[in-house]
A and B are shown apart, each in its own frame.
Chain A
């Protein structure tokens, strides 16, 4: 199996030997157009891990910061908000907050029975990232082909980097599309109920809701309702007919800030015929500290989720 930890070092060495430059030149962060492109061949995650190891040996913090700047310049997965001076990252991974946020968004949307507020900025940011990543992969493949043709090197490492970057790209793409699809599915399943939740949807989703609602209504009218004699029975939006999402579903969640959760209403339907001696549990408010993991009925934590103090997990 490939030794992935040392791979970035090998790549640097490989590139260094091709371009006939001293090894240290690659680490000093000297801005050199060629060098930049080579360094950008290493996905940020691996490079940052290697960086950290190097740091522990050399304590060259300036070098790390400069490397990050290089990545950003070449369009790798960098984050403009992260300072160059912020040498080693949290756990050695190049933490891309936008991507993490997208992942959190996707996780909570999947876990939640109802539609959550949308986040247009994050989505558009990630879409731009995608375009940049695509070019970057093209570049890598190009270089790999050239290297193979010119017989300087096997071109394998660049191809491998291209594969990994492509995997990354695929994952981001999947997250974005699946997020959109899940939201659409939720809108469709609870179409009538979502008329009250329009402020959580983007404009396109609102118009989609309307169109889908009309499609549904037309279908029902054509098959059933138009054959009914009286006007009063043709209605589709009586309160008991509206399909609301099941807010009593249990969800896994993680507490981000200390919260108080009222768990009074958790009576299971199965216990209906058993005599309940304590009908009224009184003030059953539980307090949970930050970092605890819970399984709760969604409706008990709904407000907290929307506030952002509790986070849903899959």
Chain B
């Protein structure tokens, strides 16, 4: 049902941040109009708006709804789903199904992403076997979750799909740059098919960072990290 009262929705984000992009995808899936505010220098010069609306963590994304901020991407996604109740529902209505969605979203953020990032950030001279095994164990859990489903959300994109988007672009691109074998079609056919399916949706592909620009950013960060560690 369309709201008749004045709605002002703003999002403070950063072009390469997966957390920021996840919120944009959710807003666009629901057809919510918003004003996007890009943070230009997150590292050295955070904007007064960011410091005002997220004084605790000083991070993006920050959703500002009628002047009131909501921060932390998982919190924002649930807030979006509860405030704008039109389709698609990001979470199911059954309490047990909702608990499962929350569990997998937390798993992706707290255990899965750090494990994958750890492995992909290891230099070529480091023995990454343990890190790779840990990352692949995490991938196996998600591969299992996809059995018999097009998306984690079933027939439509849901909150887990949005939270897992890192796999389809960020981690995938990192894999390419580092030439590391992590998520491959042989071991993870369902996850690979899911990633292709997601990328074929315009609401997803329109909201990903430009690939060349992203690759340049990652390369320059890795060079800077290598220089400081020498």
Chains A and B form a bound pair: no
Interface residues of A (CB under 8 A from B): none
Interface residues of B (CB under 8 A from A): none
